[in-house]
């Protein structure tokens, strides 16, 4: 009898789960699918706050992702649940230092956390900025940052396997 292959679980985290983490989720899922690794990964996103629970991603995130052939319309915002998410996800990836601190306060072991931008080999900047209060162009800038970081994350996970 064969056993199912162990999946690598990745959780992307921002504040409200409508801008950055849904984009990261969609980009990473797209990379995984493109590399025929879909069966090897469990991917999700959430926010540290409950402001937008149940809502779809910000329309600007949806539009930006769609310009890159990524569909975010099935995603719905949810809040990080320390009782289940810490156990369920091997990789917990906050978008910035503030969310990193919030996740630690919620009991997430530091060893399980790594800032999203730390996987981007093109920069030493620590944070993915929140585009929520900016113009539409900020979403494309965030998309580009996340594209680099998601590719770096996938490469890092594959190298460890």
- Is the Cβ–Cβ distance between 13 and 95 less than 8 Å? yes
Neighbouring CB atoms inside 10 A of 140's CB total 16
- Determine whether 127 is an active site residue: no
Geometric angle at alpha carbon 101, from 96 and 102, rounded to 5°: 100
Helix or strand run (H / E) with residue 59: helix 59-67
**Annotated catalytic residue, options 14, 19, 46, 150:** 14
**Annotated catalytic residue, options 19, 20, 85, 102:** 20
- Determine whether 150 is an active site residue: no
CB neighbour list of residue 29: distance below 8 Å, 6 or more residues apart: 41, 43, 70
**Annotated catalytic residue, options 85, 96, 120, 130:** 130
Structure token digits, residue 68: 């890159």
Query: CA-based Rg of the chain, rounded to a whole angstrom?
Result: 15
Whole-number Å distance between alpha carbons of 114 and 48 = 15
- Determine whether 78 is an active site residue: no
Helix or strand run (H / E) with residue 82: helix 82-88
Q: Among all residues, which ones are annotated catalytic?
A: 14, 20, 130
């Amino acid at each position: 009898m064969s056993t199912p292959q162990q999946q690598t679980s990745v959780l992307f985290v921002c504040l409200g789960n409508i801008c950055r983490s849904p984009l990261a989720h969609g980009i990473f899922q797209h990379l995984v699918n493109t590399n025929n690794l879909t069966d090897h990964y469990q991917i999700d996103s959430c926010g540290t706050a409950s402001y937008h629970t149940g809502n779809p991603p910000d329309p600007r995130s949806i539009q930006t992702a769609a310009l890159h052939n990524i569909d975010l319309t099935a995603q719905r915002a949810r809040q990080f649940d320390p009782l289940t998410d810490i156990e369920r996800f091997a990789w917990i990836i906050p978008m910035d230092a503030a969310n990193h601190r919030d996740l630690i306060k919620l009991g997430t072991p530091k060893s399980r956390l790594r800032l999203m931008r730390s996987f981007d080999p093109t920069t030493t900047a620590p944070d993915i900025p929140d585009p929520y209060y900016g113009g539409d162009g900020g979403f494309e800038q965030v998309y580009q940052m996340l594209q680099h970081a998601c590719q770096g994350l996938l490469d890092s996970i594959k190298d460890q396997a």
